[in-house]
């Protein structure tokens, strides 16, 4: 038997280098060889564990101005610990953070509330260092802390999976597993089978649904049309699907036509139906169903303001948001040299529901033109504003444990945590400016909900009264027949 020549002979190494060599290498006593062992993770061919992966959350940072928030948090964290030894408590917290992937909601709830916040602060510090948390970790801390902790990151989680590798239900199942903890915004820009899209009705906490393929792909997507919306409508009628769906956006699908307008009223919470680039006939289209107003993207805000005239929906704030998304050139150059603003300007605060009407109707509004390229950034802001105008009546019906609304950087936020999931790359905005966006002009006040309930009760009472009348007439007919039979029997007996 011929032995292989060892790669490295320990006796030939200088004495000072032996320890360094042993730290990075291993020694096989049977052969006398020194080798280096490398462990490589197996590349997964699908995304079945996407909830435990750490995807980029850059869109959250852009949404609520959290870049400044995290910059200030990181600065405070480093300055407060500088020159101080670590305590056993800090070491224990760091150990929990390092093994956070094994944590469960039950385990985190066993910790004292103050310790839970400190663990979350440590996780935020890792987020500030461009190390985002997974959806599983966020959902645990959001459910445990969001009701009493004013932290923007506990109220919104954003995740983009640029190249999905698994069926659609792999991504939607975790979103529907705990439906009362958060609402969902789903943006799909990659082709999906139509049966998978039909099963989106199983996501009861879906608040925003956006399907916008690339134009070359959407032209061939023949299955996405009126029949798909009809299937969703039947699910809403038969099983109560889409109870909190507020915004539905379908772009550049030629098989989505005017016929779909007749299905809209069966979605109880739907407020915005955006079908730009679809197979509508423009101005020759038939009028929308009662309670819906057609608008163009250029006049979207102005029309929505007039529709929701009793609840101005903070268009002054939306105008400021638009200014933030499209800064002027000189302002952008000056902002690069300026340090981030103070923490107090980005801190999240809770607002009493009694104060919401005054905040929404704040003076100082001037008309603002919404650019088509900004729609992608505005949908997550529009959903909480629609909810505020309705006093979140759809969430109340869904038995969500909603709290007071929140405000971040003087912008109204959702009263319940929200998860934004995008499958595919960001789709460029549609250039169509035809009247293919529809706004619902009812259900803007909680009193309307009671009106709907009373109307439903009236209809039910009407059905019961009709049933009683029919039963009464049937019984009267039976009595008449019995009387006739008795008279006939009496006549026959008299003849015998």
HEC-encoded secondary structure of the chain: CCCCCCCCCHHHCCHHHHHHHHHHCEEECCCCEEECCCCCCCCCCCCCCHHHCCCCCHHHHHHCCHHHHHHHHHHHHHHHHCCCCCCHHHHHHHHHHHCHHHCCHHHHHCCCHHHHHHHHHHHHHHHHCCCCCCHHHHHHHHHHHCCCCCCHHHCEEEEEECCCCCCHHHHHHHHHHCCCCCEEEEEECCCCCHHHHHHHHHCCCEEEEEECCCHHHHCCCCCCCHHHHHHHHHHHHHHCCCCCCCEEEECCCCCCCHHHHHHHHHCCCCCEEECCCCCCCHHHCCCCCCCEEEECCCCHHHHHHHHCCCCCCCHHHHHHHHHHHCCCHHHHHHHHHCCCCCHHHCCEEECCHHHHHHHHCCCCCCCCCCCHHHHHHHHHHHHHHHHHHCCCHHHHHCCCCCCCCEEECCEECCCCCEEEEEECCCCCCCCCCCCCEEEECCCCCHHHHHHHHHHHHHHHHHHHHHHHHHHHHHHHHHHHHHHHHHHHHHHHHHHC
Q: Is residue 185 part of a domain?
A: yes
For residues 217 and 191, is the Cβ–Cβ distance under 8 A? Answer: yes
Q: Is residue 7 part of a domain?
A: yes
Q: What is the pLDDT of residues 57-103, one digit of tens each?
A: 533 434 444 444 444 444 444 444 556 777 888 888 888 888 888 88
Same domain, 148 and 241: yes
**pLDDT attached to residue 394:** 87
Q: Is residue 461 part of a domain?
A: no
Q: What is the pLDDT of residues 477-496, one digit of tens each?
A: 566 566 656 666 665 666 55
Helices (H) and strands (E) counted in the chain, each on its own, are 18, 13
Over range 382-391, report the average pLDDT.
78
For residues 225 and 255, is the Cβ–Cβ distance under 8 A? Answer: yes
Same domain, 34 and 104: no
Same domain, 62 and 138: yes
Altogether, the residues listed in the chain come to a count of 496
Q: Is residue 490 part of a domain?
A: no
For residues 433 and 295, is the Cβ–Cβ distance under 8 A? Answer: no
**pLDDT attached to residue 480:** 57
Last residue of a domain, one of 451, 466, 487: 451
pTM of structure: 0.68
For residues 286 and 258, is the Cβ–Cβ distance under 8 A? Answer: yes
**pLDDT attached to residue 310:** 45
**pLDDT attached to residue 456:** 41
Same domain, 26 and 73: no
* Local structure of 144: helix, strand or coil: helix
Positive or negative, the CA dihedral 428, 433, 435, 439 is: positive
**pLDDT attached to residue 340:** 32
Q: Is residue 480 part of a domain?
A: no
Same domain, 171 and 30: no
For residues 144 and 114, is the Cβ–Cβ distance under 8 A? Answer: no
The answer on pLDDT for 117 being more than 60 is yes
- Return the minimum-mean-pLDDT range out of 34-38, 334-338, 405-409: 334-338
Over range 270-276, report the average pLDDT.
89
Q: Is residue 123 part of a domain?
A: yes
Among residues 439, 414, 280, 398, the alpha carbon closest in space to that of 351 is found at 414
349 confidence band (pLDDT: 50, 70, 90): low
Same domain, 12 and 116: no
Q: Report the 10 Å Cβ neighbour count for 488.
A: 10
Report the distance separating Cα 131 and Cα 154, nearest Å. Answer: 16
Over range 105-128, report the average pLDDT.
86
**pLDDT attached to residue 248:** 94
Same domain, 33 and 65: no
Among residues 24, 40, 23, 29, the alpha carbon closest in space to that of 6 is found at 29
Same domain, 320 and 383: yes
170 confidence band (pLDDT: 50, 70, 90): very high
Residue 361 CA to its chain's centroid (Å): 26
Q: Report the 10 Å Cβ neighbour count for 467.
A: 10
Structural domain boundaries enclosing 350: 56-451
Question: How far does the chain reach from its first CA to its final CA, in angstroms?
Answer: 126
Same domain, 303 and 429: yes
**pLDDT attached to residue 222:** 73
Report the distance separating Cα 6 and Cα 307, nearest Å. Answer: 82
Q: Is residue 486 part of a domain?
A: no
If one counts the domains in the chain, the total is 2
451 confidence band (pLDDT: 50, 70, 90): very low
**pLDDT attached to residue 184:** 93
**pLDDT attached to residue 241:** 93
Q: Is residue 479 part of a domain?
A: no
Same domain, 9 and 122: no
Q: What is the pLDDT of residues 220-234, one digit of tens each?
A: 777 899 999 999 999
390 confidence band (pLDDT: 50, 70, 90): confident
Residue 261, Cβ density class (10 Å: 0-12 exposed, 13-18 middle, ≥19 buried):
buried
Same domain, 178 and 119: yes
- Return the minimum-mean-pLDDT range out of 132-141, 290-299, 428-437: 428-437
Same domain, 259 and 398: yes
207 confidence band (pLDDT: 50, 70, 90): very high
């Amino acid at each position: 038997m011929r032995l292989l020549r060892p790669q490295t002979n320990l006796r030939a190494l200088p004495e000072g280098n032996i320890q360094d060599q042993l730290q990075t290498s291993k020694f096989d006593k049977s052969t006398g060889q020194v080798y280096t062992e490398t462990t490589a993770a197996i590349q997964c061919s699908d995304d079945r564990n996407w909830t435990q992966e750490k995807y980029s959350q850059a869109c959250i940072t852009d949404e609520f101005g959290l870049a400044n928030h995290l910059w200030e948090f990181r600065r405070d964290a480093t300055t407060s610990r500088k020159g101080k030894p670590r305590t056993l408590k800090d070491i224990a917290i760091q150990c929990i953070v390092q093994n956070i992937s094994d944590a469960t909601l039950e385990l985190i709830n066993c910790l004292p509330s103050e310790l839970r916040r400190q663990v979350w602060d440590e996780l935020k510090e890792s987020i500030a260092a461009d190390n985002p948390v997974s959806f599983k970790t966020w959902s645990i801390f959001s459910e445990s802390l969001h009701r009493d902790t004013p932290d923007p990151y506990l109220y919104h989680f954003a995740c983009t999976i640029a190249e999905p590798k698994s069926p659609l239900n792999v991504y939607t199942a975790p979103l529907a597993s705990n439906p009362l903890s958060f609402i969902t915004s789903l943006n799909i820009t990659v082709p999906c089978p139509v049966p998978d899209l039909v099963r989106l009705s199983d996501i009861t906490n879906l608040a925003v649904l956006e399907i916008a393929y690339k134009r070359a792909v959407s032209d061939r997507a023949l299955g996405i049309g009126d029949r798909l919306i009809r299937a969703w409508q039947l699910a809403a009628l038969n099983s109560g699907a889409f109870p909190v769906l507020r915004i539905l956006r379908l772009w550049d699908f030629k098989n989505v036509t005017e016929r779909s307008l007749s299905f809209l009223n069966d979605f109880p919470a739907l407020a915005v139906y955006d079908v730009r680039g679809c197979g509508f006939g423009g101005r020759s289209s038939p009028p929308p169903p009662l309670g819906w107003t057609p608008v163009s993207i250029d006049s979207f805000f102005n029309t929505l303001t007039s529709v929701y005239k009793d609840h101005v929906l903070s268009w002054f704030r939306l105008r400021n948001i638009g200014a933030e998304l499209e800064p002027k050139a000189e302002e952008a150059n000056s902002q690069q040299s300026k340090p981030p603003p103070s923490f107090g300007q980005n801190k999240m605060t809770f607002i009493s529901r009694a104060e919401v009407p005054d905040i929404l109707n704040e003076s100082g509004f001037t008309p603002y033109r919404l650019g088509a390229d900004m729609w992608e950034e505005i949908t997550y802001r529009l959903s909480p504003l629609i909810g505020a105008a309705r006093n979140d009546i759809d969430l109340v019906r869904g038995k969500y444990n909603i709290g007071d609304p929140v405000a971040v950087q003087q912008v109204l936020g959702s009263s319940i945590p929200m998860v934004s999931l995008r499958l595919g790359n960001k789709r460029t905005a549609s250039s169509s400016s035809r009247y293919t966006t529809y706004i619902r002009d009812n259900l803007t006040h909680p009193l309307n909900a009671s009106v709907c309930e009373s109307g439903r009760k009236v209809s039910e009472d009407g059905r019961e009264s009709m049933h009683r009348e029919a039963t009464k007439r049937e019984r009267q007919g039976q009595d008449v027949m019995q009387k006739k039979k008795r008279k006939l029997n009496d006549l026959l007996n008299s003849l015998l």
